[in-house]
Chains A and B, each alone.
Chain A
Amino acid sequence: MLSMTNISKKFGDLEVLKDISINVDQGKVIVVIGPSGSGKTTLLRCLNVLEQPERGEVSIDDQTIDFSQKVTKPEIRELRKQTGMVFQNYNLFPHLTVIQNIMEGPVTVQKVDKAEAREVAIRLLEKVGLGDKADVYPYQLSGGQQQRVGIARAMAIDPKVMLFDEPTSALDPELIGEVLQVMKDLAQEGMTMVVVTHEMSFAKDVADEVVFMDGGYIVERGSPTEVFENPQQDRTKRFLNLLQH
């Protein structure tokens, strides 16, 4: 359903992704872990072409983009409509109220009728537990609440895949749980998800597959039990050990 084949990406001379391939089946949750600078965020950003790789292919359902060819903007936009992105710093639109944030994609991009978009937005807000916050501005919310709005905004375009870029890294510890809970609910409902995170407990509980990246390579991948309980590679062991201290 979602796949990334032989993706390579450079920033200047620095090769941050080296021939990466992953495959996510419908309804599966894949969690990408690894030290900072390992390329995991870049991998995620290549999936909706916020970064454009030099080589390789990304496909979602029946749409494939081959980056060794010239890629057009409409192609990229088409791909983005199938993916919902949740950012580390939420990136909510500060000049719009919560509900306007969520309605923006459906109304402006997908030309959905406003009343209809509003209904969907309200349903999504209730789902992330913020039914009473529709008409406030983002600055009036806590970080955890803002991130839940971020999730609702991404869900509003009815994506086939949800991408999470370290969604809890900017949060105070006591606010992390509420965001992870929303993500767990989504996973249980069968949402296909790619999650970059440092929350190992989330990876253990929710992931169908864990991918460990380092230095632009996928070092190890497998079920959470395989990767966490019985890692095969030294680098994975070192990384997991560091986390325990």
Chain B
Amino acid sequence: MAKMYLLNNIFLNAADLQTLQDSFLPLMRGVLYYTVPLTLISFFIGLLLAVITALFRISGVKLLSGIARVYVSIIRGTPLLVQLFIVFYGLGNLGIEFLKFDPFVGALIALSLNTGAYASEIIRASILSIDKGQWEAAESIGMSYLQSLKRVILPQATRVSIPPLSNSFIGLVKETSLASTILVAEMFRKAQEIVATTYQPLLIYMEVAAIYWVICFILSLIQDQIEARLNRYVK
């Protein structure tokens, strides 16, 4: 009897297919309106933060590298979920209008800060991986620090950083699901709403998992393309 029940639940019947079909569009709306923008915008801002933080860290100026260290330590030392709650519920409860964020903006802030901290270590490691002779060659033709960085070091560091940054990016796609906890109507929150009316958790959450996987698979194909392009100058 129990066996029959399990089989009935694993194999899809016509009603299941209908549920999948009905839920697909709402879920994709969550992807297109929230999951994708949230990922792209917070990755972009996070990357900017990461470059600045990495440059602070290696600047040799105690104050700047201190700021960078504290930032990275706080973000890496606390869960993203807690960060989301602090930004949205915590700051929102202070009674200051300016700090009452819309759920989407709150999620953007927390995800950007989080990405920035982790990616800064990737960028820093990539910069440090470039041979010291490259700095010297750049300086020997008269380049300033910023010129050397922009023309010689960062282009090479970019190549080194693509695999680990892709990891961060793909991780971020999935971390946006945590924004469901602060009421952002991204895919996972949509899924929870659908489950509440259809009572089909296995089916719907499997569908959600499949959509996340397809997105990440496409991203890893793009990663391969970028790597191939940046590898053109190495043996």
Q: Are A77 and B232 in contact (CB under 8 A)?
A: no
Q: Are A50 and B134 in contact (CB under 8 A)?
A: no
Chain A residues bordering chain B, tally (CB within 8 A)? 29
Of the candidates B133, B138, B151, B233, the one having the most CB atoms from chain A within 10 angstroms of its own CB is B233
Q: Are B141 and A109 in contact (CB under 8 A)?
A: yes
A238 at the interface (CB under 8 A from B): no
User: Per-position contact with B for A140-182: 1 when CB-CB < 8 Å, else 0?
Assistant: 0000000000000110110000000000000000000000000
State how many angstroms separate the Cβ of A91 from the closest Cβ of chain B: 4
B155 proximity list for chain A (CB < 8 A):
95
State how many angstroms separate the Cβ of B192 from the closest Cβ of chain A: 47
**A92 closest partner in B (C-beta):** B137
**A156 closest partner in B (C-beta):** B141
- Residue of B131, B142, B159 near A77 (CB, 8 A) is B142
Q: Are B147 and A108 in contact (CB under 8 A)?
A: yes
Q: Are A104 and B141 in contact (CB under 8 A)?
A: yes
Interface positions, chain B 122-165, Cβ under 8 Å from A, are: 131, 133-134, 136-145, 147, 151-152, 155-156, 159
Q: Are B137 and A48 in contact (CB under 8 A)?
A: no
State how many angstroms separate the Cβ of A77 from the closest Cβ of chain B: 5
A237 at the interface (CB under 8 A from B): no
Q: Are B140 and A48 in contact (CB under 8 A)?
A: yes
- Residue of B131, B141, B144, B234 near A105 (CB, 8 A) is B141
Q: Are B147 and A109 in contact (CB under 8 A)?
A: yes
- Residue of B143, B159, B235 near A95 (CB, 8 A) is B159
User: Per-position contact with A for B39-78: 1 when CB-CB < 8 Å, else 0?
Assistant: 0000000000000000000000000000000000000000
Q: Are B234 and A77 in contact (CB under 8 A)?
A: no
Of the candidates A73, A94, A156, the one having the most CB atoms from chain B within 10 angstroms of its own CB is A94
A139 proximity list for chain B (CB < 8 A):
233-235
State how many angstroms separate the Cβ of B75 from the closest Cβ of chain A: 31
User: Per-position contact with B for A89-113: 1 when CB-CB < 8 Å, else 0?
Assistant: 1011111100000001100111000
B145 proximity list for chain A (CB < 8 A):
73
State how many angstroms separate the Cβ of B162 from the closest Cβ of chain A: 13
Q: Are A110 and B233 in contact (CB under 8 A)?
A: no
Q: Are B143 and A108 in contact (CB under 8 A)?
A: yes
A137 at the interface (CB under 8 A from B): yes
Of the candidates B137, B140, B152, the one having the most CB atoms from chain A within 10 angstroms of its own CB is B140
Q: Which residues of B contact A (CB under 8 A)?
A: 131, 133-134, 136-145, 147, 151-152, 155-156, 159, 232-235
